[in-house]
């Protein structure tokens, strides 16, 4: 049987990494990961047939998700640190005024910067490459892949992940 795990995309998110981790640590060898535009979309996909949805406990709207998707049992949780996170910019000089960031990463942002909230960290860094913002907070590996200059490194952040399912409350 092939299992489907829904979580936040695009490619390169900590959520995608957490979905792989969940599958492998649960002994699931045959699985697909469905990368969604939001955690709400991921849980809608669980209602529509995905086997599992993975959501980080740091998601600012987690309680609202618990209320809206109370028909989907939370069958477990696990700890998986985020990838190393950084503040990165394109290689230009000049002041940093605007910073793209996921709402959950707001505590990492200095008050001196104007936040521009984006739905995922890889998309935050893409906004830097596209010139829409001066800098972004995202994963170090994605920043390096995009050729961005690292201004500050925050390291890995401890994270708990929740596993939603449309199945029984006790799991697989």
Same domain flag for 9 and 60: yes
Residue 44 sits in a domain whose CATH number is: 3.40.190.10
57 in a structural domain: yes
172 in a structural domain: no
Residue 24's Cβ-side half-sphere holds a number of Cα atoms within 13 Å equal to 7
Q: Per the structure, how many domains does the chain have?
A: 2
Expressed as residue numbers, the domain containing 35 is: 3-81+158-165
Q: Which two tokens stand for residue 114?
A: 């104007």
End-to-end CA distance of the chain: 12
- How much is the pTM? 0.85
128 in a structural domain: yes
Same domain flag for 73 and 126: no
Angle at 117 between CA 33 and CA 81, to 5 degrees: 50
Q: pLDDT of 49-87, one tens digit each? A: 999 999 999 888 899 999 999 999 999 999 999 999 999
Closest CA to 20 of 161, 170, 165: 161
170 in a structural domain: no
């Amino acid at each position: 049987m092939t299992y489907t795990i829904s979580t936040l995309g695009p490619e390169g998110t900590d959520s995608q990494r957490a979905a792989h981790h969940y599958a492998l640590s649960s002994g699931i060898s045959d699985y697909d990961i469905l990368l969604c535009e939001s955690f709400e979309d991921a849980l809608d996909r669980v209602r529509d047939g995905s086997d599992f949805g993975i959501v980080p406990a740091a998601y600012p709207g987690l309680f609202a998700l618990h209320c809206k998707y109370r028909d989907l049992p939370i069958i477990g949780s696990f700890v998986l640190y985020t990838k190393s996170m950084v503040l990165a910019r394109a290689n230009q000089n000049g002041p940093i005024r605007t910073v793209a960031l996921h709402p959950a990463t707001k505590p990492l942002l200095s008050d001196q910067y104007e936040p521009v909230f984006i739905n995922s960290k890889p998309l935050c860094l893409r906004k830097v490459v596209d010139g829409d913002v001066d800098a972004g907070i995202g994963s170090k590996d994605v920043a390096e892949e995009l050729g961005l200059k690292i201004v500050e490194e925050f390291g890995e952040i401890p994270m708990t992940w929740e596993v939603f399912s449309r199945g029984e409350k006790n799991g697989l």
